[in-house]
């Protein structure tokens, strides 16, 4: 989806604002929504791609106005309702509906202590053959899918060089919509700054993107 | 497509999150003790100090550096920083003619096991939008000068690979031990927006 989240190349967002001695969480609620989000995702009702796409579906004005964890709060509320785990009434009142079933939390303290970060399956899969190899010239497809994608607009239609085959990964464009994992090779593709941004860009600079087989064609 | 749902919950996120947590605990969907563990992990256990130790080890031990560049997750796990399973990480090395810069233009992908959670600026629209089109301008805003003849390589974390920059070891640190070297390494240098300052120099 061509959305405001796909920001690479915008120029009107102002200077980067830094904060000295920045805390990990700026308020206790940020840590709690972080934990809630991880706990809910551990239930397996939605995957990381679905989760990312839900953030992309925020109205653009809200997306830009909200802080990072305000977005997390909003989309976890939305996902809970969308997947039938919580009713809109429960969300509004903060108490379970009468007769609401009691579940068992998927993420316990013991599991949380062992598990940091994301669980990604092995990228080694000899069953899946790559379409490209290191050194080959490729072009990122000119495509405008209306769902989730990890091919940024600024690279579409541009030519680059495969520098490395990262192995096999789940395809976010289908996985986000529960249309299958469609596992395929992901490559580090190097694009020259001039190819991406024109002749005013530095002749020495480059941007590397990690791109799935389905995003690429031979150049 | 966008549902602008209005609800009676308070707009103050403190109250909203409190209400949400208590609802989810009552429904058995969330264990508050698991939340405590996650918050404690990122506030006290996992952060850029992990990455700094990896960098310092690579500076003093050429064999380790070679392993780190070839297979970052295994080399990082040697120091005890594991991410459960499957965090796919890559280390990119700065040198006299190459400067690396890491960004996630689409969201906020960041190497949690070695750097912890990202700072606000890394997740900001300003950084995400401009790091790819104007990396040298962004670097200048961080006070980082990269000479014209140095290649700037930007890494946009569009897939599940997570990038860490191996910064250059500053001059004048020949007599420092690994611990002292680790103390010099900053988070910003491992994202690539800064260089590692020499001892006594301001970051």
Average pLDDT over chain A, rounded to whole?
95
Q: Band of the pLDDT at B4, cuts 50, 70, 90?
A: very low
The pLDDT tens digits for A2-23 are: 999 999 999 999 999 999 999 9
Torsion sign (Cα): A156, A65, A51, A79: negative
Pair B164, B187: CB distance under 8 Å: no
Q: Does the beta carbon of B33 lie under 8 angstroms from any beta carbon of chain A?
A: yes
In CATH terms, is domain A28-114 a member of 1.10.472.20? yes
Q: Do B84 and A117 touch (CB under 8 A)?
A: yes
Whole-number pLDDT of residue A174: 98
Q: Band of the pLDDT at B1, cuts 50, 70, 90?
A: very low
> Which among B30, B129, B151 has CB closest to A7?
B129
Whole-number pLDDT of residue B8: 47
The pLDDT tens digits for B122-131 are: 999 999 999 9
Largest CA distance in chain B: 63
Q: Burial level of B79, CB count in 10 A (0-12/13-18/19+)?
A: middle
Cβ neighbours of A186 in B, within 8 Å: 159-161
Pair A103, B22: CB distance under 8 Å: no
Tokens linked to A200: 């005013």
Residues of B involved in catalysis: 104, 107-109
DSSP state of A43: T
The residue of chain B nearest to residue A26, with distances taken between CA atoms, is: B120
Residue of B130, B143, B157 to mutate, testing the A interface (most A Cβ within 10 Å of its Cβ): B130
Q: Do B30 and A107 touch (CB under 8 A)?
A: yes
CATH superfamily of B47-191: Nitrile hydratase alpha /Thiocyanate hydrolase gamma (3.90.330.10)
The pLDDT tens digits for B117-164 are: 999 999 999 999 999 999 999 999 999 999 999 999 999 999 999 999
Task: For domain A137-218, give the CATH number.
Answer: 2.30.30.50
Which residue spans of chain A are classified as CATH 2.30.30.50? 137-218
**Domain boundaries of chain B, sorted by first residue:** 13-44, 47-191
Residue of B132, B140, B164 to mutate, testing the A interface (most A Cβ within 10 Å of its Cβ): B132
Estimate to the nearest angstrom the gap between the alpha carbon of A114 and the chain centroid: 23
Give the separation between CA A127 and CA A122, rounded to whole angstroms: 13
Q: Do A24 and B43 touch (CB under 8 A)?
A: yes
Q: Does the beta carbon of B37 lie under 8 angstroms from any beta carbon of chain A?
A: yes
Q: Band of the pLDDT at B200, cuts 50, 70, 90?
A: confident
In this structure, the strands spanning A184-192 and A159-169 are antiparallel
Whole-number pLDDT of residue A20: 92
Please report, in tens digits, the pLDDT of each residue of chain A (219 residues total).
Answer: 999 999 999 999 999 999 999 999 999 999 999 999 999 999 999 999 999 999 999 999 999 999 999 999 999 999 999 999 999 999 999 999 999 889 999 999 988 887 665 567 788 899 999 999 999 999 999 999 999 999 999 999 999 999 999 999 999 999 999 999 999 999 999 999 999 999 999 999 999 999 999 999 999
Give the separation between CA B89 and CA B74, rounded to whole angstroms: 9
């Amino acid at each position: 989806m061509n959305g405001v989240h796909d920001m690479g190349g915008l120029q009107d967002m102002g200077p980067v604002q830094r904060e000295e001695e920045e805390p990990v969480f700026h308020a206790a609620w940020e840590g709690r929504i972080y934990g809630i989000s991880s706990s809910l995702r551990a239930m397996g009702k939605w995957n990381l791609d679905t989760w990312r796409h839900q953030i992309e579906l925020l109205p653009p004005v809200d997306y830009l106005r909200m802080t990072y964890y305000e977005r997390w709060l909003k989309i976890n509320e939305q996902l809970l309702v969308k997947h039938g785990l919580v009713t809109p009434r429960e969300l509004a009142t903060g108490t379970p509906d009468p007769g609401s079933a009691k579940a068992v939390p998927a993420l316990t303290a013991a599991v949380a202590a062992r598990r940091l970060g994301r669980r990604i399956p092995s990228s080694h899969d000899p069953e899946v053959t790559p379409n490209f190899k290191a050194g080959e010239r490729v072009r990122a497809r000119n495509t405008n899918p209306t769902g989730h994608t990890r091919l940024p607009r600024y690279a579409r239609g541009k030519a680059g060089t495969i520098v490395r085959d990262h192995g096999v990964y789940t395809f976010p464009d289908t996985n986000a919509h529960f249309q299958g994992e469609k596992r395929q090779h992901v490559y580090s593709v190097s694009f020259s700054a001039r190819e991406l941004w024109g002749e005013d860009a530095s002749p020495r600079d480059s941007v590397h993107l990690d791109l799935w087989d389905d995003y690429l064609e031979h150049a | 497509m966008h549902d602008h749902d209005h609800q009676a919950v308070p707009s103050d996120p403190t109250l909203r999150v409190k209400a949400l947590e208590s609802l989810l605990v009552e429904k058995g969907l969330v264990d508050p003790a698991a939340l405590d563990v996650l918050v404690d992990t990122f506030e006290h256990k996992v952060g850029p100090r992990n990455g700094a130790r990896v960098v310092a080890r690579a500076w003093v031990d050429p064999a380790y550096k070679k392993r780190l560049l070839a297979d970052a997750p295994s080399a990082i796990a040697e120091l005890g920083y594991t991410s459960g399973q499957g965090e796919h990480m890559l280390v990119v090395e700065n040198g006299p003619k190459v400067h690396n810069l890491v960004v996630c233009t689409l969201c906020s992908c960041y190497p949690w096991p070695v750097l912890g959670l990202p700072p606000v600026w890394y997740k900001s629209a300003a950084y995400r939008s401009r790091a790819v089109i104007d990396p040298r301008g962004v670097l200048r805003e961080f006070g980082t000068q990269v000479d014209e003849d140095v290649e700037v390589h930007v890494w946009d974390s569009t897939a599940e690979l997570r990038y860490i920059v191996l910064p250059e070891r500053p001059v004048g640190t020949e007599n420092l031990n690994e611990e002292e070297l680790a103390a010099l390494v900053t988070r910003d240098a491992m994202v690539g927006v800064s260089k590692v300052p020499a001892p006594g120099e301001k970051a």
